[in-house]
Amino acid sequence: MKITLNSVRNDSLRLPAAAALLAVLLGSSACRKNPAPAATDPLLKAYDVEPDWNDPQHIIPLNYEQAQGKRVFYADCVWCHADSTPAGPSNRSNVTPTPSLMNDGAKLNGLSNEYMRNIIALGGEAMGKSSMMPPWGRTLTQEEIQAVIAYARGIAQPPYQPPARTGPAYSEK
């Protein structure tokens, strides 16, 4: 290879030009604004979903416990606590008094978790309600009963708001 004065000049000019171009490229990327984080869709984090019974276009995201409650609900409770079932109409209209819908927040939101746990486990008659509500305490585990309560809280309309202060579920007499 023959080295001439022109080739040395060209090589000596190329190195600073490449370094300057690299500095410009690196510097301009540091000045760029970082994009705002995308709004997270709660449905992407949901373990399962349930269509709002009053507005099927509204999808309610469910966490793991609520999804387990949904599983128990559709196996055991749907027949009396929903207007329709996966198999067709429910038996709710044939029961007197008519049971609350599982998503009826107007009725269920005011009940404590302890009260709901007891009415599910002990049955309606033991809690001064309808004898048509069977006791599920020997059929369902405590975790399954809690999951059904979490599911009812999750799909309640109006939405359930937990109490700000926890206290005794029953008044002392």
Q: Look at residue 173 and tell me whether its pLDDT is greater than 50.
A: no
Q: In the chain, where are the structural domains located?
A: 42-155
Gap between the Cα atoms of 101 and 108, Å rounded: 9
pLDDT digits (tens, 9 = 90+) for 2-27: 555 455 455 555 666 666 665 666 66
pLDDT digits (tens, 9 = 90+) for 89-119: 888 989 889 999 999 999 999 999 999 999 9
DSSP assignment, residue 36? P
Tell me the two tokens of residue 98.
């008519």
pLDDT digits (tens, 9 = 90+) for 32-78: 566 666 667 777 788 899 999 999 999 999 999 999 999 999 999 99
Q: Is the pLDDT higher at 31 or at 93? A: 93
Gap between the Cα atoms of 163 and 167, Å rounded: 9
Give the CATH superfamily of 42-155.
Cytochrome c-like domain (1.10.760.10)
27 Cβ contact partners less than 8 Å away, ≥ 6 residues apart: none
**DSSP E strand stretches across the chain:** 48-51, 59-62, 84-85, 88-89
